[in-house]
């Protein structure tokens, strides 16, 4: 369904003359993702033990089906930002600009990229293949299919300096990470003679049990060191420390609507793949060094870097990038522990983080639209403002203009901090509980301390919005808008999920618990 839709959109864009047709294409892409969501749920009921496709290149299990569904849902939500006019005009300062012209200019800046939904479908296709891959070659092709789309999305506003530099930086450093993945793939094939993950598992298991002439050439640490190189490439792509240095600049330079997609979909697919890789390689290494130790080290560094580096950061999108690094640290810690409890904590944390992140970027976009600037000398909108607000100080006094949006953003930020009874608290509690039960006392202590430290820059955002008056920095009221209904609905629903999770926790927790049990079922 996705592939046919990609072909139809390519043909449609080839014969289209109106640039506003991108809105129609975006809505078509949303419909395609919803239909894929429904189809996937129907097939989920038909698959019990899991099946292999195309000679074992892909495998379909309950875990992959659930996260296919989740990727469809998240992608459809993100596409709403470009598939509907973000705002409906209510009042505009007519001394600055004619209201009709302002509305037209606003829609021109945000909705003039016809290829955007097409590229989104390419990225989603790559993400689905990566989640389901069980062969090294398929894994590399899937991650590259996903990455190529993200490179194009990052430079979608290539007529601006920041958009071009952000896309180029992401492309160059993403290519470097792909080299590590390819190197690890080559080493794994050289040392095992197979590209199937199942084959690597069988060879290693036999060599651990039967030390005879057939397996005397094999050494367990060969696979360990190969997996280290392999994993470094994926850690690079999700921006985990110490490979995080590109993410704050890329997040800041690329458009916010693209940052929303880059910061969520890429991480979901890669982290689910790492979960399956840890499971494949968990029980058959008898050497002292295990490749999952790199996950523990990266988790420690991500927790420290994400919390400390953000203390002096004033750029709002870079602040979100450092926050993401901290959250990745918690998820890598749950991955490295590799028990039923930690796997449930990982799955729950990944889901709640993704929804909270979507809500935060939706709110950032919504708030930013109130500060579009009209250049009276050029008779047009300042196109540099398409990426919404840039600095936390620009949020000063926004509570006095839009209290509901401010309250929603504050709830999301408190969830990131881990304030009970918000959903983020339960995610951190589950990860730290699993770490403590398995002897990771130092990392548990680091997680608690870094959560407190990161609360400093989180609370600064809330302080600027709520405890200062707007006229303290002299904001001009360029425009006043009402958000369109789809965006209002999404922000409201996500905020209520974050706020009222304790009212209906059974379904979410039961699903993650069942998935963790299915993964470890023998």
Phi/psi region, residue 50 (left: phi>0; alpha: psi -120 to 50; beta: rest), is left
Buried b (16+ CB within 10 A) or exposed e, 135-150: bbebbbbbbbbbbbbb
On whether the CB atoms of residues 253 and 173 are closer than 8 A, the answer is no
CB atoms within 10 A of CB 104: 12
Where in 76-154 does DSSP place strands (E)? 87-92
Q: How far apart are CA 124 and CA 184, in angstroms?
A: 24
pLDDT value of position 49:
67
Q: Closest by alpha carbon to 103, among 78, 115, 86?
A: 86
On whether the CB atoms of residues 324 and 263 are closer than 8 A, the answer is yes
pLDDT value of position 113:
65
Residues of the chain short of pLDDT 70, as ranges, are 12-20, 45-49, 84-113, 158-160, 204-220, 282-289, 370-388, 470-482, 521-522
pLDDT value of position 251:
86
Q: How far apart are CA 58 and CA 134, in angstroms?
A: 6
User: Mapped to the 3 state alphabet, what secondary structure does 232-291 carry?
Assistant: HHHHHHCCCCCCCCCHHHHHHHCCHHHHHHHCCHHHHHHHHHHHHHHHHCCCCCCCCCCC
Q: Which residues pair with 381 in a beta bridge?
A: 374
pLDDT value of position 94:
40
pLDDT value of position 283:
58
On whether the CB atoms of residues 299 and 278 are closer than 8 A, the answer is no
pLDDT value of position 357:
93
Q: Closest by alpha carbon to 331, among 251, 274, 262?
A: 274
pLDDT value of position 496:
93
On whether the CB atoms of residues 350 and 428 are closer than 8 A, the answer is no
How many helices (H) and strands (E) would you count in the chain?
20, 6
Element containing residue 60 per DSSP (H, E): strand 58-60
pLDDT value of position 217:
57
Helix (H, G, I), strand (E, B), or coil: what is residue 408? helix
Q: How far apart are CA 349 and CA 499, in angstroms?
A: 15
């Amino acid at each position: 369904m996705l592939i046919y839709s990609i072909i139809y959109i390519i043909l449609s864009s080839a014969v289209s003359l109106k640039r506003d047709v991108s809105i129609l294409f975006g809505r078509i892409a949303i419909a395609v993702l919803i239909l894929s969501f429904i189809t996937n749920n129907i097939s989920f009921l038909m698959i019990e033990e899991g099946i292999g496709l195309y000679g074992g290149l892909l495998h379909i299990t309950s875990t992959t089906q659930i996260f296919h569904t989740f990727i469809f849902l998240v992608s459809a939500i993100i596409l709403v930002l470009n598939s509907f006019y973000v705002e409906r005009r209510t009042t505009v300062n007519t001394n600055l600009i004619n209201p009709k012209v302002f509305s037209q200019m606003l829609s021109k800046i945000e909705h003039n990229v016809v290829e955007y939904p097409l590229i989104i479908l390419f990225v989603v296709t790559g993400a689905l293949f990566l989640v389901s891959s069980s062969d090294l070659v398929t894994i590399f092709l899937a991650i590259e299919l996903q990455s190529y789309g993200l490179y194009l999305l990052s430079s979608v506003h290539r007529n601006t300096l920041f958009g071009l530099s952000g896309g180029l930086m992401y492309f160059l450093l993403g290519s470097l990470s792909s080299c590590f993945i390819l190197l690890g793939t080559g080493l794994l094939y050289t040392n095992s003679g197979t590209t199937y993950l199942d084959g690597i598992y069988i060879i290693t298991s036999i060599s651990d049990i039967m030390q005879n002439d057939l397996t005397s050439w094999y050494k367990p640490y060969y696979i360990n060191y190969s997996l280290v190189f392999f994993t470094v490439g994926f850690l690079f792509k999700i921006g985990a420390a110490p490979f995080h240095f590109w993410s704050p600049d890329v997040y800041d330079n690329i458009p916010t609507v693209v940052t929303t997609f880059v910061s969520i979909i890429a991480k979901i697919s890669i982290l689910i793949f790492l979960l399956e890789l840890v499971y494949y390689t968990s029980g058959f290494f008898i050497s002292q060094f295990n490749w999952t130790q790199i996950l523990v080290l990266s988790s420690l560094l991500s927790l420290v870097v994400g919390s400390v580096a953000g203390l002096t950061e004033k750029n709002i999108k870079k602040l979100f990038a450092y926050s993401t690094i901290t959250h990745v640290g918690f998820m890598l810690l749950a991955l490295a522990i590799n028990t039923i409890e930690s796997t449930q904590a990982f799955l729950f944390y990944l889901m709640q983080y993704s929804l909270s992140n979507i809500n935060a970027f939706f709110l950032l976009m919504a708030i930013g639209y109130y500060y579009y600037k009209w250049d009276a000398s050029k008779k047009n909108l300042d196109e540099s403002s398409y990426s919404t607000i840039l600095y936390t100080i620009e949020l000063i006094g926004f509570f006095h203009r839009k209290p509901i949006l401010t309250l929603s953003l504050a709830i999301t930020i408190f969830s990131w901090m881990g304030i009970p009874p918000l959903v983020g608290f339960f995610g951190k509690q589950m990860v730290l509980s699993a770490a403590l039960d398995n002897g990771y006392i130092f990392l548990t202590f680091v997680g608690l301390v870094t959560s407190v430290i990161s609360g400093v820059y989180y609370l600064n955002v809330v302080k600027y919005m709520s405890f200062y008056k707007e006229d303290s920095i002299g904001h001009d009221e360029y425009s006043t808008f009402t958000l369109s209904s789809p965006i209002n609905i999404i922000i409201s629903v996500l905020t209520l999920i974050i706020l009222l999770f304790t009212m209906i926790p059974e379904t979410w927790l039961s699903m993650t618990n069942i998935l963790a049990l299915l993964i470890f079922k023998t």
